Structure formats: structure tokens, C-alpha cells
Structure 1
Amino acid sequence: MGKELRLVLLLMLLCQKGNAELQTFCPVRCQCFTPVQVLCAETWISYLPKNMSRQITEFILMTSSVAHLFPNTLEDSPQLTKLIFLNNVLTSIHSQAFTHLTNLQELEISGNPLLNHLYLGTFSKQGNLTKLLLNYNQVNELLPGMFDPLKNLETLQMKGNIISDLPEFIFLKLNKLLVLDLSQNKLTEVKRQTFAGLGKLETLKMNNNLISNLTSNTFNNISQLAELHLEGNKISELADSIFCMLTNLKVLNLRGNLLTSFSDKVFGFQLSNLMELNLKGNRLTQLYSLSRFTTLTDLTLSSNQLSYLPQTIFKNVTTLENIDLSENQLNSLPGTIFRDLFSIKTIHLNKNNLSKVEANLFEDQLLMQKVYLSDNQLETVPLGLLDPLIMQYTVRLHGNPWKCDCHLFYLHDWVLKNSQDIEMLDRVLCHGPSFFRGQTVASMDKDQLVCQVSEDEMPDMRNCILQASRNSVTIKCRVDVSSPITVKVLFEEEGGTVKEHILTNKSGPSNCSNVAIMESPNE
């Protein structure tokens, strides 16, 4: 027997031995991927397994028929450090169900649509717990003191329940809490005392609740908060100085509320660390100044009702990298609104009512990577508008009624030169003149970009005669000086096809003709 064959057989024997060892400690109807991990995920499992190996430290129960956790349910497994109940049919948890699990560091009880109550004392022995997830149940009430034993808790999530009220001082003893998520509940009021004691809180989420008003006392005693998520609520008003205690706040998300105005006064005079501000999907009609947000890098104002922004709104906000003003009602922007914002990488102006932009709008944005001007009312852009784009960039121009005449020379040349950097180039279409409607700007020849001559610009045609004879049209014009002259005639057929005919008089200075004649058959 060769050496390689003996090695293969040895490995097979070791694998079989390992699998056999796994099976010796793995509970019936469950799967054990390692000696310390057990997964039970069968709908017909109606009770927790007994006599698990003392090696097991992580136990996961999913999609089972377990409906109740009884007293001392897991008393034979005090070594567990991670316990997860996910998408089961739990209807009740006895207050002593976890009494023996003093080593637990992570506990999740989520996705139980019939679980509506937690008893006082349920977590009384979990002093080592750092992560508690109670998401997407039907819990409707939190009892005072139920979280007091969790002195080492860092993450607490209770999103997707039907909690309508938070007891005063409910989080008082959670001195190490870093993340708090109360999103998608039914909260209508947040009291000042609710968050007392959360001195090191870094993240607070309350999105998709029904909060209608926040007072200046709501967030007292959580000055270390780094992220505050209030998205998806019904907040219509923010009191001045409401966030004045949040001196270390880095992220503020107020997306999807009912705010009609927003002022930097909500922070009082202490504002030095905010980096992300999201106000998308509110009802903002006006903004005056964000000049005190001097550390802001990301600003989202999309999906509001803004029709005007003052010239100095971003003054001193020199750290801005991303600005989203899309889906508003902006008709125009001051040419210097982005002045001195040298760090900007992304500007979203799409889906507004912009009919014109100033040539110097982007003059300071040499690092810009994304410019979205799509879905506005632009017929042309001024000379030099896009010249500051010198880095690797992406531009969107589609959805505008581009007028393909002589005023589009600059954009036409820029599009041809930078076609690989324009997204959806095939949707950048001429809207006028009518005989070019629907044609892509990139497919136009520059000679086709001509303007209609106004009466003031019309040359003296008194010496011109138009004659028609059978299938010919003759134009005779007498000119005052001898010079080359070009006559273009465009014929539009019934199907919309345009054919261009050109006649050029190339007579030299010594051999001039004072009559230019073009004859073309009628088509």
C-alpha cells in the first residue's frame, strides 16, 4: 500500500472518528457543527433537548414549535454563553427560565408573534450579559426594574414590538450600555427620566414609532451618545436645545418624520462632533443656516419640499463630502452656494425643478466623484459648468428636456469627450427642436446644433427672391460683398427622418459671384 493511499485512509478514519464524537454529544434532532455549537431548527421540535454536553456553550433554536420556557428549563447547561431563540412560537417565558444561566453573554429572543409579556426577574441572574435582543415580538409593556441586574449590558434591542410607554428610570442601572434600539414600536411619548443613567450610551434608535413631540429634557444624562436614530416616527417639532446635552453625537437620523423646519438651535451652543445628518422624507419647506455644523461630512435633505436655499446655508461647513438635495422642488441655486466646500465628493440634485444652473456652481469641487443633475428642467448648461471634474467621476444628465440647438455646443462637446463617465447616456435625449426630439445628444453632429434666427438677427432678405418651378425651389440673393456663403436646407419626411442639404459658395476674392443659388428637388 502506497504512502499517499495510507495517508488518505488515515484522514478518513480521523473524520469518521470526529463525526462519531460529535454525534455522541449532539442532542437528538439537532445539528452540531463544532463541539461547542448546537443548532436545532425543525418545526416538530416542541421541547428543549435534555442532557446536552457540558462542552456546548452556544445553543440556537429556530423555527420550532416550542411555546413555553418553564422554570429551570436549561438547568443542566449552566455553561452556556450564547442562547438564541429565533422565529419560534413562544407565548410565555417563566421568570426563572434562565436562573442557572449565569455565564450568558448573549441572549436573543426574537420573531415570536405571540410573545407579549416579560416577567420581572426574567434576567435577574444575567449579570454577565453584554447583548440582549428582543426584536419583532409582541411585547407591549416593560416593567420597572426588569433590566436593573444587567450591569454589563452593552447592546439592548427591542425593535418591532408594540411598546407604547417606557417606565421612568427603566435604563437607570445600564451604565455600560452602548446601543439602544427601540425602533418600530408604538411610542407616543418619551419622558425626561426614561434615559437617566445612560452616561455612556453611543447609539439610540427609535425609528418607526409614533413620537409626536420631543422636549428639551428628553435626552438629559446621555452626553456620551454617538448615534441617535429617530427615523420613521411622527415627530413634527424639535424644541430648541433638545440635543444640547449630546455633545459627542456623531450621527443624527431623523428620516421619515413630519418636520417642516430644522434649525441648528436644537443643539444649543454645544455642537462639535456631528458628522452625519439625515433629514430625508420630512416636510421641510425652508432651511436657513447649517453653519454651526462645522464637522458635518454627510448631509441628506432629499424627499422634502425645499424650493429655495440661501446662499450662505453651508457657510463654514467645509468638511462636507456628500450632499443629497434630490427629490425637492428647487428651481435654481445660488452660484456660490457650494463655495469653499473643497471636500465634496457627491452632489445629488436630481429630481428637482432646476431650469438653469450658474456656471460657477461647482468651481471649488475638484474632488467631486458624483454629480446627479438628472430629471430636472434643464434645456442647456452654461459654458464651463462641468470643467472642475478632474477625478474619476460619474455624471447623470438624463431626464432633462435638452434643447439641441446652438446653445448646447458646450454640453454636446463635453458629452462626446466624457461619454464613458455618463450613466444612462442613451437616455440623454433632445426634447427640441421637434424634428430632433427623441434623438440622443451623443448622436448629434455639431453642425446640426443650429438656432432659429430672430427678427432682430435676420439678415436683409429684401434682395432675395424665392422661385418655385415644378419640382424645384430656387433662392436668389444678391449680397453686398464677395464672401463664402453656405446655405443649409433641412427636409423632414413623414416618418420623422431629417435630411440635410448643404450648398457652399467657395468663390475667391478675385472671382466672386454675387448670387448664391441652391436648387433641390422637393422631397
Structure 2
Amino acid sequence: MDMRLHATLFLLLLPCPNGATPPHADCPDKCQCFTAARVLCADEHMTSLPANLSQEAVEVVVMTSALQYLFPGAFEESPQLTKLVFLNNPLRSIHSQAFRNLSELRELEISGSPWLDHLFLGTFSEQGNLTELQLNYNKFQTFLPGSFDSLERLESLQMKANVISDLPVSLFRNLRNLRVLDLSLNKIPKVEKETFSGLSAVEILKLSNNRIANISSDVFCHVPRLTELHLEGNGISRLADGVFSALADLTVLNLRGNRLMSFSDTALGPESSNLTHLDLRGNRLTELSHFGTLTSLTELLLSSNELASLPRDLLQNVSALENLDLSENRLTSLPDGIFYGLKSLKIIYLQKNQLTDLDSRLFKDQEMIQQLYLSYNRLQNLPLGLLDRFALPHILRLHGNPWKCDCHLWYLHDFVLNSHRDVEMPDRVVCESPRFLRMRPLASIHREELVCPLADGDPTDLSACILRKSANSLVIRCKVEKCSTLAVQVQYLGDDGAVHEHLWKKNNSLCANITVTQAPIP
């Protein structure tokens, strides 16, 4: 249930100022009057409205009652009411004259009635001063044309969480002052250009969690003042070029949870420079073009898509960006310089991808970073200097990667030890290899244990070394023909899980008899 329902009750239950005793003398039966002006009726056995409301009452809330019907002139003795709320009642029908004489109403809410599926024409005919109307969590399937024609001063209309499947073309034609229209959580299959005819003042439009599959290029031409547009949770698979081009004031665009496979700023048009929040999470995106026209964008959310690669110029000129979410995609690498110039970036989500390596200068411009998430990728090490530019205390997540704990991990090892407060869950940053360090937390390992095997071409000649098994021993036999400072360190894992080692180093005194011949200086 909408949290707003509970907020209304909370406000009504606030104690009287200065600790005064609430007046009860003129309060109707089964109701509570915490002030003379505010009345709460919440009784599960109440089947009819209170008959003796005080003439001082201006706000009435009826909730969790047994009220099923509102009859003609239900509040005829209380024309002074400015706020009337019905919450979680089993209403089945409201007579078209139920609100007769309530011409002073500013706020009206009828929400949470699971059997209320229609309103008669003329129900709001005398509510010309109404500014807020809420009809949420009922069972409305449609509304008759003209249902809202008398509400010329209405500023907010909420009809979310019904089962609306049809919107008459002229339904909103007289709502010239409407600022907010919420049609989310319904079953609307489509919207057309004329659906929003008359709504030239609307700033927030919510169509989320419906069944809209297609949007024509001119559908929003009658709502040019939109600042927020919510289309998340529909079945939209493609966007026509310029579909949002009429929305020059748009700052928030939410397309989360649709079926988009690609997205380009051509859908927004050249007038989209005011957009600050773009949400494309949970689509099927496999490709993106650049967002270069979105110069005011501060939040770009692209998680839970199917992106395997990104264009190098994806974020070029998006210099105001602060929050970037690329998590839960299929990225194996990031283009060099993709974050160049983005000096305002504070949060970067890259977790749950397939990243195998990162360029050492990837974050060279991100001095203001506060959160960086690299967990659950395929990283085996981090390049030297990758994290050195961060100037502020920050949150860093590195767990869930197959870290290869050898000499190439010295940089990360030192960073974890020196910046342990910045690394979240450091005990989960564990080695995947080599075998004798597997599942050891990196922070528990001495730097000297992070060693690399000698590669082909290494200047140290071990060609004279032989590895063989003798009885119950493993023998390493090396012949060193020249004076050498080479040490042999043998490490083995004991039954107790601890690493034991033995060190052998050639005695330098053996080199004392070596003669060094120096050519004469000409």
C-alpha cells in the first residue's frame, strides 16, 4: 500500500500543541477528534458515515471501516470541508451526488477499495476548487469521457495501481492546470497523441508498469513542459528518432525494465541538454551510441543489460556526470580514455561484468571519486598506479575476483594494507591462485610470499637444476658455476594450513678466489 496512506494517519495522530487535552465533546461516535477541525473515523464496524460532524471540521479521514456505499448528499451538513479522505474501505459504489455541496474541497482521496470499479458521470461536478485528487489502489478499468471536466483547478491527479486498460481520448481535455499525472501500475496497452490533449501544464507524467509496447514519435507533443517522464516497466522495444524532442525541459527520463536493444541520443533530439537523470537499467541493450548532447547529465544508469563493449566516445562532453552504473553487463574491457574529462564522477559501478584487465590511466581524471565497485569480475591483478589519483576517502569493492597472488599483485597488496578503511570487506579479497595461497585473504599475506615463477628468457640460468624424487623427499639439485647471490626459497603448505619455508643462500665467501681481470686504460 502507498506510504502516503500511512503518512495521512500519522499527521492526524500528532499530539495537540502545548500538551492540551483533545476535545471530545462534539466528536461523532466511532471517531476521534484530536482538534475540532480534524476528524479521524477508523472503526471496522462502522457501516455508515458520522451524522453529527462539527461545523468546525474541515478535514475528515475515514479508514479501515465497513463502509460500502456513499449515498446522495452524504456530507450535505458539512459544506465547509476542504479535505476528505477514504482509505482502505470496502467501497463498492459512490453515488454521482455523494459529494453534492462540497464545493470547498481542495483535496479528495478514495484509495484502497478493492471492489470499486467505476465512477458515475458527474461525481465531481461541484468540486471546481479541487487541487488534488487521488484514486489509487482500486479496481477502475476506465473512466467515462467528461469525468474530470469540472476540475479546472486540479493540479495533481493520481490513478495508480488500478486495472485501467483504456483511456478515452478526451478524458483530460479540461485539466489545464494539472502539474502531476500518475497512471502507473495499470494495464494501459498504448498511449496516443490525443491521450494527453489539454495537458499543456503537466510537468510530471508517470506511465510506469503498464503494457505499453510502442510509442509514436509525436505522442508527447501536447505535454511540452514535462520535466519528469516515467516509462519504466513496460514492453517498449524501440524508440523513434526525436520521440522526446518536444520535451526541452525534460530533466528525468526513466526507461528501466523495458525491451530496448539499442539507445541513441537521437531519440532525445538536440534540445535534450537539460536532462540530468537517464535510467536505462534492466533492458536488453547490446549497443550504445554517444551521449555527447547530454551535457547536463549527472546520473546515467545502464545496469542489467547485455553490453559487451562500449564506444570510446560514449561519454565525451558529458562533463557533469556524477553517477555512472554499468554493473551486471558483459563487459570484458573498457576503452582507453572512456572516462577522460569526467572530473565530477563520484560513483562508478562496474561490478558483475567480465572485466579481465584495466588500463593504468583509466581513472586519471577521477580525483573526486567516492565509490568504485569492481567486485565480481575476472580481474587477476591491478596495474600500477590505477587508484593513486583518488583524493578523497572512498569506498572500494574488490571481492569476487580471481586474484592471482604473485609479484604482479604487489601494488594491490600494498594498497589494501595501507588503505584498509577504504576497501570494503577486505577479508573477502582472496587469492584464487597459486594453489598454495588459494582462498587466503590478500591482507593476511606477506609481500615476500607474492612471487613469480621464472619465465623463459629470464637472465638467471637454471638449466643446470634438476628436480627429482628420492625416497620420500623432493630433491632440487642445482650446479652454479659462477659466483652468484641467487637464493633458493622453498615453501610448502603444512597440515595446519600454514605456509612453511626454507631459505638457502650461497655463501659469498666462495666468490673470494675469483680473479677479475681489468683491461689497461689506453
Q: How far apart, in 2, do the equivalents of 1:395 and 1:469 lie? A: 49
Alpha carbons 2:371, 2:395 under 8 Å: kept: yes
RMSD: 2.2
Residues 1:314 and 2:315 aligned together: yes
Residues 1:501 and 2:484 aligned together: no
Partner of 1:285: 286
For 1:27-66, list aligned pairs within 5 A.
27-66=28-67
Q: What amino acid is the match of 1:150? A: L
Q: How far apart, in 2, do the equivalents of 1:29 and 1:369 lie? A: 54
Partner of 2:155: 154
Distance 1:194 1:447, change over 3 A: same
Distance 1:510 1:330, change over 3 A: closer
Partner of 2:232: 231
Partner of 1:143: 144
Q: How far apart, in 2, do the equivalents of 1:212 and 1:237 lie? A: 9
Query: Structure 2 regions of 5+ residues with no counterpart?
Result: 1-16, 516-522
Q: How far apart, in 2, do the equivalents of 1:347 and 1:126 lie? A: 50
Per the TM alignment, residue 454 of structure 1 is displaced from its structure 2 partner at its CA by 2.8
Partner of 2:255: 254
Partner of 1:264: 265
Q: What amino acid is the match of 2:483? A: S
Q: How far apart, in 1, do the equivalents of 2:320 and 2:279 lie? A: 16
Partner of 1:397: 398
Q: How far apart, in 2, do the equivalents of 1:405 and 1:295 lie? A: 44
Most deviating of 164-173 and 107-116? 164-173
Query: Structure 1 regions of 5+ residues with no counterpart?
Result: 1-13, 515-523
Partner of 2:201: 200
For 1:35-184, list aligned pairs within 5 A.
35-184=36-185
Alpha carbons 1:203, 1:226 under 8 Å: kept: yes
Deviations, residues 165-191 of structure 1 (Å, cap 9, x unaligned): 111122121111111110011111101
Q: What is the aligned length? A: 499
Distance 1:415 1:506, change over 3 A: farther
Most deviating of 234-243 and 489-498? 489-498
**SS of the residue 1:190 aligns to:** coil
For 1:326-341, list aligned pairs within 5 A.
326-341=327-342
Distance 1:512 1:325, change over 3 A: farther
Q: How far apart, in 1, do the equivalents of 2:288 and 2:91 lie? A: 48
Q: How far apart, in 2, do the equivalents of 1:15 and 1:295 lie? A: 48
Alpha carbons 2:113, 2:139 under 8 Å: kept: yes
Most deviating of 327-336 and 448-457? 448-457
Alpha carbons 2:155, 2:179 under 8 Å: kept: yes
Distance 1:114 1:474, change over 3 A: closer
Deviations, residues 8-37 of structure 1 (Å, cap 9, x unaligned): xxxxxx999844xx1112111111222211
Q: What amino acid is the match of 2:57? A: I
Q: How far apart, in 1, do the equivalents of 2:149 and 2:289 lie? A: 44
Per the TM alignment, residue 503 of structure 1 is displaced from its structure 2 partner at its CA by 2.8
**SS of the residue 1:426 aligns to:** helix
Q: How far apart, in 2, do the equivalents of 1:81 and 1:31 lie? A: 18
For 1:402-441, list aligned pairs within 5 A.
402-441=403-442
Q: How far apart, in 2, do the equivalents of 1:398 and 1:512 lie? A: 54
Alpha carbons 1:233, 1:256 under 8 Å: kept: yes
Q: What amino acid is the match of 2:401? A: N
Q: What amino acid is the match of 1:342? A: K
Distance 1:80 1:512, change over 3 A: farther
Distance 1:143 1:503, change over 3 A: same
Distance 1:377 1:470, change over 3 A: closer
Q: Tell me the TM-score normalized by structure 1.
A: 0.91
**SS of the residue 1:408 aligns to:** helix
Q: What amino acid is the match of 1:271? A: S
Alpha carbons 2:485, 2:506 under 8 Å: kept: yes
Q: How far apart, in 1, do the equivalents of 2:119 and 2:270 lie? A: 41
Q: What amino acid is the match of 2:333? A: S
